[in-house]
Structure 1
Amino acid sequence: KDNFYAISECCDSNSLNVVVGPYIHSIICILGLVGNSLVIFTYALYKRTKSMTDVYLLNVAIADLLFVLALPFIVYNELYSWPMGQVACKLLRGSYSVNLYSGMLMLACISTDRYIAIVQARRSFGLRSKSSSHIVCFLIWIFALLVSVPTFHFHHWYEPSHNNITWFNSNEQEETTDPQYVCEWKFDDINTASIVKVAVPSTQLAIGFFLPLFIMIFCYTSVIITLQKAKNYKRRKAVRVVMVVVLVFIVCHLPYNLALFYKTVNLFKQSDCDEEDSLRTAMSVLQMVAYLHCCLNPLLYAFIGVNFRNHFRRIFQNLCGLGQRYIAPRRITSDICMTTVHHSVDGSAENCSSLIM
């Protein structure tokens, strides 16, 4: 009763996560950590946040970075006993949910900002201010925290009441009777469990996927229609970029969310172990694909922009200047300054003294 959705002895096939999961998740964590850290580092030291899009991009990178930092612990919990206690259990599970919601809603804000800037260009000056973007981001983080309250509250660190449970280590599969703790859902009664186990995935589907998807489709469709009217090479290139952004979002998230929807609808239907194991395997694979999006966000939203790439290039120019500072300091200073002038966003020269670290 205290563990309504206990792990079943019969339906406990998790071989895919054991064999393939750690490698795929490690790649996702490394790529996501490097890409989003570079975005934050570039904004912090060079580009700064000068527009609404910059503020949203920075917050997306922060959400994705926190997401990939929590991911290894979540995956570890699915494969082994949870060793870190109650507080870490609630914080990691809750922060995982907060970063998921905030990151997806920030992407919707980026599409809305681009819609206003291109489709509603005449009125965009009054609508697109840096201060308002900070307010929007703050409200999104608060909202993501509020919808994640059930995740914080109902996740507990405990020892399951059932005795037959199989754990895996890196060398072999073995059954153990030692006390094993998990960080999972735990409810006081079946009614609460039924409500939460339906409400949480339904909220994730509605707010964490379909809402951002509909906003992106509406905004980017309007953007494409507006850009098609202007027969310009850069505009045509922008249309292709928009289509790639939407397509990648759909490919990464739609399959997993459809599987989650199917699982939620059939939550209380009785099924055999083969069907349950097949669904669990499919969701594991599709979840990995969905996680890949946090690695692609820096490429799709930040590095694809010429201005951002110019600022990012300055990082390596300055690092090279630091490495060769004592070899040819005057020449390096001149080269970096000239390169910066050539690639500056507004075409104006930067203060050369700030380029020598």
Structure 2
Amino acid sequence: MTVTPDYDEATYGDYPDDGTLCNFDPNPAEVLTQTYIHSVICAFGLIGNALVVVTYIFYKRTKTMTDVYLFNVAVADLLFVVALPFIIYNEQHSWLMGQVACKLLRSAYSINLYSGMLLLACISGDRYIAIVKARRSFGSRSRCLIYCRLICLAVWVFAVALTLPTLIYTALFKDLDLGDETAEMVCELSFNKYETAKLMKVLVPSLQMGIGFLLPLSVMVFCYSSIMCTLMRAQSSQRHKAIRVVIAVVIVFIVCHLPYNVALLSHTVSLFKERSCEAERIKLKVLAISKSVAYLHCCLNPILYAFIGVKFRSHFKKIMSDLWCFSKKYIYSARLSPGTSDACTSGFKSSEGSNHLSSFSA
């Protein structure tokens, strides 16, 4: 059996030569496994990125440009991991939340991809200026932070703009693979015209691969190659420590997203060509697996901060200490002695007073 070129997502791969329909629905075991994996990603991503945001807001008075960028990366990851449980629920319950939720939730990953990867490119540019161009003066710290925040705002606006095709053309429609009686509502790209389908089904994945992956990757390779050359000449272990978390974050992001982009490229090349149902099933399964791997980056970044960033570990310990003190103070206050309560209060003040630490990544 072969699948004809697909012009509309609703008729995607529905017309084999023998007149029967191709069923691309995953089996229940795959759905259950994917649900567990996404749940783990959501839980760890939510906890880890929330700790990064809390550290930035409450435990760091002195902030660097890298801190601002990493904070925005954490916010982007938080937005996605918050949306992920709703995506899982709606996919398993025929999108009960309706058309608006369909559009917004399907756009969440796209915004996270563009903003997160472009912000990582900004971090590499910031480290390049700080290390390779260290002798040049770029103005006061406060002015640099203003420029940094403007850059972050521009990245968010650009990410939303690149997501508009997904937002506009994603729609709810009945999946007719199982017939009219058992048809369920699905949330996918849908087009009424062949010309629009042909353009968007090439444009959307091309933007993801080009602007969301290859362009930032090129910037990172250039910046970090220059940084490595400078550090090798400088023989400075301290500078190595200052950028190692950023390099690790970029490497992890590449490892997570490269398989999905390769699978997406293969899938895009085969669009509008006849292909067998079995080959299409394999491609869709590979896409689903690699996309789950891509989701992993949302919870891996905070782990990198905790295990590599010495100063972030220090802030993390202070957060845990303060939470322990508050829990004892407000939950078990009847059992606490005055001396214990004072110690807890002092510990929180110590956290506030340690905000001179300059970076997550050192």
Pick the TM interval, shorter chain: 0.7 to 0.9
| SS in structure 1 at match of 2:136 | helix
Q: Which residue does 2:350 correspond to in 1? A: 340
The AA in structure 1 aligned to 2:326 is L
Moved more, 332-341 or 81-90: 332-341
**Alpha-carbon distance change, 147 to 291 in structure 1, aligned in 2, over 3 angstroms:** same
Number of equivalences: 336
Distance, in Å, in 2 between the alignment partners of 1:185 and 1:124 is: 49
Q: Which residue does 1:150 correspond to in 2? A: 165
- Name which structure has the greater RCO, CA cutoff 8 Å, separation 6+: 2
**Alpha-carbon distance change, 124 to 102 in structure 1, aligned in 2, over 3 angstroms:** farther
- Where in structure 2 are the equivalents of 1:75-114 lying within 5 Å? 75-114=88-127
Distance, in Å, in 1 between the alignment partners of 2:223 and 2:77 is: 23
In the superposition, the TM-score normalised over structure 2's length comes to: 0.83
Q: Deviation at 1:204?
A: 0.5
Distance, in Å, in 1 between the alignment partners of 2:226 and 2:118 is: 19
Q: Deviation at 1:143?
A: 0.7
Q: Which residue does 1:119 correspond to in 2? A: 132
- Where in structure 2 are the equivalents of 1:122-271 lying within 5 Å? 122-123=135-136, 125-126=138-139, 129-160=144-175, 162=176, 164=178, 177-178=181-182, 180-237=184-241, 241=245, 243-271=247-275
Distance, in Å, in 2 between the alignment partners of 1:93 and 1:341 is: 39
**Alpha-carbon distance change, 119 to 329 in structure 1, aligned in 2, over 3 angstroms:** farther
Distance, in Å, in 2 between the alignment partners of 1:294 and 1:133 is: 22
Q: Deviation at 1:120?
A: 1.2
Q: Deviation at 1:2?
A: 6.3
Distance, in Å, in 1 between the alignment partners of 2:131 and 2:294 is: 29
The AA in structure 2 aligned to 1:221 is S
The answer to whether the Cα contact below 8 Å between 1:321 and 1:333 also exists between their aligned partners in 2 is: no
Moved more, 253-262 or 42-51: 42-51
Distance, in Å, in 1 between the alignment partners of 2:230 and 2:9 is: 54
**Alpha-carbon distance change, 120 to 84 in structure 1, aligned in 2, over 3 angstroms:** same
The AA in structure 2 aligned to 1:142 is V
| SS in structure 1 at match of 2:172 | strand
**Alpha-carbon distance change, 258 to 2 in structure 1, aligned in 2, over 3 angstroms:** closer
**Alpha-carbon distance change, 232 to 331 in structure 1, aligned in 2, over 3 angstroms:** farther
| SS in structure 2 at match of 1:12 | coil
The AA in structure 1 aligned to 2:22 is C
Q: Which runs of 5+ in 2 are unaligned?
A: 1-6, 15-20, 358-362
Q: Which residue does 1:30 correspond to in 2? A: 43
Q: Which residue does 1:61 correspond to in 2? A: 74
Q: Deviation at 1:294?
A: 1.1
Distance, in Å, in 2 between the alignment partners of 1:47 and 1:5 is: 53
The answer to whether the Cα contact below 8 Å between 1:35 and 1:295 also exists between their aligned partners in 2 is: yes
The answer to whether the Cα contact below 8 Å between 1:56 and 1:109 also exists between their aligned partners in 2 is: yes
Q: Deviation at 1:178?
A: 4.5
Q: Which residue does 1:10 correspond to in 2? A: 22
Q: Deviation at 1:154?
A: 0.5
Over the residues paired in the alignment, what is the CA RMSD in angstroms?
Answer: 2.9
Cα shift readout 1:201-258 (whole Å, capped 9, x = no counterpart): 0001011111111111111111121122233443454575455334322211111111
Identity %: 50
**Alpha-carbon distance change, 309 to 195 in structure 1, aligned in 2, over 3 angstroms:** same
**Alpha-carbon distance change, 62 to 271 in structure 1, aligned in 2, over 3 angstroms:** same
The answer to whether the Cα contact below 8 Å between 2:306 and 2:316 also exists between their aligned partners in 1 is: no
Q: Which runs of 5+ in 1 are unaligned?
A: 166-175, 348-357
The AA in structure 2 aligned to 1:116 is I
Q: Which residue does 1:288 correspond to in 2? A: 292
The AA in structure 2 aligned to 1:23 is Y
Cα shift readout 1:243-299 (whole Å, capped 9, x = no counterpart): 533432221111111111111111122111111111111121111111111111123
- Which runs of at least 4 in structure 1 moved beyond 6 Å after TM superposition? none
